[in-house]
Amino acid sequence: MHSELNCIGRSVLFNNMSIAEKEKLLTTSSHRQYYAKGALIRQPNDQFNGLLIIDQGLTKAYQVAENGKEKILYVLKSGDVSGQQYLFTKHTNLTMYLEALEDTWVCSIQYNDFQDLLRKDPAISLALLNNFGNMIVGFEEQNVRRDLLDAEDRVMDYFKQQCIQNETDQFILPLKKKELAGYLGITPETLSRKMKALEDKQRIKVDGKQITVFVE
């Protein structure tokens, strides 16, 4: 099922590399670390500062404020990469957590190795740039959603986005509704009501955590 080449090949960062190049990566990366659902994959001051690839599973990235509240930054799925931020900053004490939403396997690459790779391989640098670009676009979309749309449109927009990502008209909510509400910048109560409203309008169908979106 899992080959080590597969593991890093799954990521958009590396899927254009030659076999030989991937094999070079393999010598310096750790493979298929297992994390049970609910386990913390990364936490502040854990000394893991490498690049991380979700091989299989689902992960939430969040930060914790002084008042103890969690803010979801994004959800990482199979093939997604995390930790590039640290390429550009020495602030290793960003209070970010990565937590497995389901049983998850991750691969990682130490930074020194990755930086070596960047110097040697322009294609990787380009892929990294694109990856950053996509992340920025994602954050922008999220900001627009939060600042310009009302609550109901925010919810609907998020659902549509999920469908586009999954390339189907239905998906499973990766987060608790409480968490999703925080992510969208609304209260859980409002989310609950808006989802019901959207269901009444026949724009979505809700079955537990499974959401079906009806396209116009």
Partner DNA sequence: CCATTAATAGGCG
Partner DNA sequence: CGCCTATTAATGG
Binding site for DNA (CB under 7 A): 150-152, 176-179, 185-196
CA distance 144 to 138: 10
CA distance 11 to 16: 9
In the complex with DNA, the residue whose CB is nearer, 108 or 162, is: 162
Please enumerate in sequence order all residues whose Cβ is within 8 A of that of 9, keeping only pairs 6 or more positions apart, or say none.
15, 17, 22
Cα dihedral 6, 44, 40, 5 in deg (nearest 10): 10
In the complex with DNA, the residue whose CB is nearer, 13 or 58, is: 58
In the complex with DNA, the residue whose CB is nearer, 13 or 186, is: 186
Determine the Cα angle at 194 with ends 147 and 207, to 5°. Answer: 125
CB of 181 to DNA, least distance (A): 8
CB of 170 to DNA, least distance (A): 17
CB of 145 to DNA, least distance (A): 12
Run of H or E residues at 5: helix 4-9
Helices (H), ranges, 121-150: 122-148
In the complex with DNA, the residue whose CB is nearer, 176 or 203, is: 176
CB of 155 to DNA, least distance (A): 8
CB of 162 to DNA, least distance (A): 16
In the complex with DNA, the residue whose CB is nearer, 24 or 193, is: 193
CB of 72 to DNA, least distance (A): 12
In the complex with DNA, the residue whose CB is nearer, 80 or 179, is: 179
Count the helix, strand and coil residues of the chain and give each as a percent rounded to the nearest 5. Answer: 45, 25, 30
DSSP bridge partners of 98 = 42, 61
